[in-house]
Amino acid sequence: MLVVYCHPFRESFVSAARDRLLAGLSAGAHEVRLRDLYAEGFRPELSSFERTNQFAPLASKPDVAEHAVDLQWCEALVLVYPTWWSSQPAMLKGWFDRVWVHGVAYDLPEGSNRIRRRLTNIRRIAVITTHGSSKFINALQGEPGKRVITRALRVVCHPLARTTWIPLYRLDLADERQREQFLERVERFGRSL
């Protein structure tokens, strides 16, 4: 199981969710690899070299190679992040841009205009996220962050890959009981995987 965590503050509520997820996964005796994008100093910006050499072998991109190996290794991917501006933080979006690339997530056969999925090892994608706004506001916005996961990333995974969305809406107004209920839900989810 690959857990990708994305938040700049070590004491954030999202970090508490990460910790409870890891506790649940540990109780379920899962083999887990954790990627903490901020702690690692991951560079989210796609360089001009990477863009112009998008079909180059992974060996020419050593700073993302370990991330690609983790993606190709895992059967389940859990993303833990806050929803900002209706979507993933720029750091996580940059991880998608730089790691979910040709030769890792998909192939584009010569002469074809359709990609071929490569991450068929991934059978489950889960998201644990917080929102400042309500579910109603997110629905009005069309839930763009959720669509990135379910309509873009999932397409290059196993054809029967399932997605799970575990949100806490209106985090800023949530009381201690609501926050604890969310954290318990996250830990239960980790145990159940």
Structural domain spans, the chain: 2-192
In whole angstroms, what is the distance from residue 12 CA to residue 186 CA? 15
Residue range 90-108, pLDDT digits in tens: 999 999 999 999 999 999 8
Q: Is residue 79 helix, strand or coil? A: strand
Burial class (CB in 10 A: 0-12, 13-18, 19+), 140: exposed
In whole angstroms, what is the distance from residue 95 CA to residue 81 CA? 13
- pTM of the complete model: 0.95
Find the mean pLDDT for residues 109-123.
93
| pLDDT the model gives residue 61 | 82
User: Can you name the CATH fold of 2-192?
Assistant: Rossmann fold (3.40.50)
Taking each continuous run of H as one helix and of E as one strand, the counts in the chain are: 8, 7
Residue range 18-51, pLDDT digits in tens: 999 999 999 988 899 999 999 999 999 998 988 8
| pLDDT the model gives residue 14 | 98
Residue range 43-92, pLDDT digits in tens: 999 989 888 888 888 888 888 999 999 999 999 999 999 999 999 999 99
Burial 83-122 (b: 16+ CB within 10 A, else e): beeebbbebbbbbbbbbbbbbbbbeeeeeeeeeebbbeeb
| pLDDT the model gives residue 28 | 87
| pLDDT the model gives residue 29 | 87
